[in-house]
Amino acid sequence: MRQMLLSLVAAALLAGCTGSLFQSKLPATATYQLAVRGLAAAPAGPALPVDLAVLKPRMEPGLETERIAALYPDRRLEFYAGAQWSGVLDDVLQALTVQAFARQANLRSVSGESTRFYNTHWLELNVEDFQAEYRTPGAPPVIKVRISARLGSTSDHVGQWHCEVQAERAASADRMSAIIEAFEAVTNEVLGQLVEASRRDLAGAG
C-alpha cells in the first residue's frame, strides 16, 4: 500500500510539471514582415551595365537576431516580448535592399551574394542602428535606422565609394502596430537614400 501511494504521488507531481511546461501562459509570438514601399520610380532609359551583388549586412552587436530591439536612455538594450521579425535581421535587410535596387536603380541585374551569376560590383552594408529608442518618459519611441555602405568593383576588389544613410521617425503610439509602421517607413527612407546615392556613383563611373 505504501509503495502504491508513493507511485500515485510521483505520478501527480509529474503531471503537474508537464502541465506547467507545455501549457504556457505566455502569449504567442507575433511575426512582423517589412516591405519595400513608396520608392521613386526607376529612371527611364537603358539600364546601367551593372550587375550588383548585395552582400549580407554586418550587424552591430545586439542586432544580429530576429528579435525587435528597443534602446533606453541608460543605453540598456532590450527586446519586445512576443514580437519578432520574419527572419534574422541581416537576412531581412539583405532581401529588402535587393528588392529596392531591383525596383528603383535601373541596373542590369541585382542579386544577393549567393548567386552563380557574375557580378560587376558589390555593395557592403554595416547596420549601425536599427532599433526603437525610448528617449522621453511616457512618449512613443523614435525609430532610428543608420547604415554605413561601401560600393566596389569586382574587377579590382577596391571600394570606390562610401557613404552613411540614416533616418528616424517617432512612432504614432507606443503599441506594436504603430512601431512596426514607423520601422517600415524609416527603412524605406534609408533604402531610397542608399539606392539614389549608389546609382549616381555607378552612372558617373560609367
pLDDT of residue 14: 41
- The reply to whether 3 falls in a domain is no
Look up residue 195 and give its three cell numbers: 539606392
- The reply to whether 67 falls in a domain is yes
pLDDT of residue 108: 94
* Domain assignment of residue 200, given as a range: 29-205
- The reply to whether 16 falls in a domain is no
- The reply to whether 43 falls in a domain is yes
pLDDT per residue rounded down to tens, the chain (206 residues): 444 433 433 444 344 443 333 344 556 799 999 999 988 777 888 899 999 999 999 999 999 999 999 999 999 999 999 999 999 999 999 999 999 999 999 999 999 975 556 899 999 999 999 999 999 999 999 999 999 999 998 877 555 789 999 999 999 999 999 999 999 999 999 999 999 999 998 887 65
- The reply to whether 17 falls in a domain is no
- The reply to whether 19 falls in a domain is no
Give Cα separations from 192 to 69, 109, 162, 165, 206 (angstroms). Answer: 23, 18, 16, 9, 21
- The reply to whether 18 falls in a domain is no
Look up residue 196 and give its three cell numbers: 539614389
Domain of 58: which CATH number?
Answer: 3.40.50.10610
Residue 41, SS3? coil
pLDDT of residue 70: 98
Q: Are 162 and 150 in contact (CB under 8 A)?
A: yes
- The reply to whether 54 falls in a domain is yes
Q: How far apart are CA 171 and CA 188, in angstroms?
A: 15
pLDDT of residue 11: 43
How many structural domains does the chain have? Answer: 1
Residue 126, strand partner residues = 58, 148
Q: How far apart are CA 173 and CA 178, in angstroms?
A: 6
Look up residue 185 and give its three cell numbers: 517607413
